[in-house]
Structures are given as structure tokens and as C-alpha cells.
């Protein structure tokens, strides 16, 4: 879905796609439980990066995975 903001159109579906990619990976590695509950911390990471201007779903997912895993190590 495209949302018009001024002159720029933003693909809000990128957040959902990025979350699905990152959550699938993290479930497979055991970092998050294998259930259908949304992981709020992962979603927050993705939304913050999206609001900062990152719109590529693959890059969003990869950066979110890295930040999520880095926080788990601390």
C-alpha cells in the first residue's frame, strides 16, 4: 500500500514484509519463540528504521536481525 506524504510516496508494506523476513529467520534460529505472536521489540526496531528513511525491506530485515541479535548478547 502506498501512502502519500507530501511529494514522496512511501511503501508501508515494506515494514510488514521486513518483519515477516526477520521473524522467520529469528524463529528458525531459536531467538524468538515459534508462535504467531508479534515480537514487539523486533517490530519496534523495524518501525524506527523505517521512520528514519530506510524503505528497502531486505535491508530493513537484515539490520533488524543484527540489532536484535546484538541486544540478545548484552
What single string gives the DSSP state of each residue in 9-43? EEETHHHHHHHHHHHHHHHHHTSS-SSSS--HHHH
Q: Kindly tell me if the per-residue pLDDT of 71 is higher than 60.
A: yes
- Does pTM surpass 0.85? no
Give 5-51 pLDDT, tens digit per residue: 554 555 679 999 999 999 999 999 999 998 889 999 999 999 999 99
For residue 2, the cross-strand partners are 11
Distances (CA, A) of 24 to 1, 2, 4, 36: 22, 24, 30, 11
CA distance from start to end of the chain: 37
Amino acid at each position: 500500500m502506498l501512502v502519500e506524504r507530501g511529494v514522496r510516496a512511501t511503501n508501508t508494506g515494506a515494514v510488514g514484509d521486513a518483519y515477516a523476513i526477520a521473524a522467520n529467520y529469528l524463529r528458525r534460529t531459536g531467538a524468538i519463540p515459534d508462535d504467531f505472536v508479534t515480537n514487539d521489540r523486533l517490530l519496534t526496531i523495524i518501525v524506527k528504521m523505517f521512520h528514519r528513511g530506510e524503505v528497502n525491506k531486505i535491508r530493513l530485515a537484515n539490520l533488524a536481525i543484527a540489532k536484535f541479535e546484538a541486544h540478545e548478547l548484552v
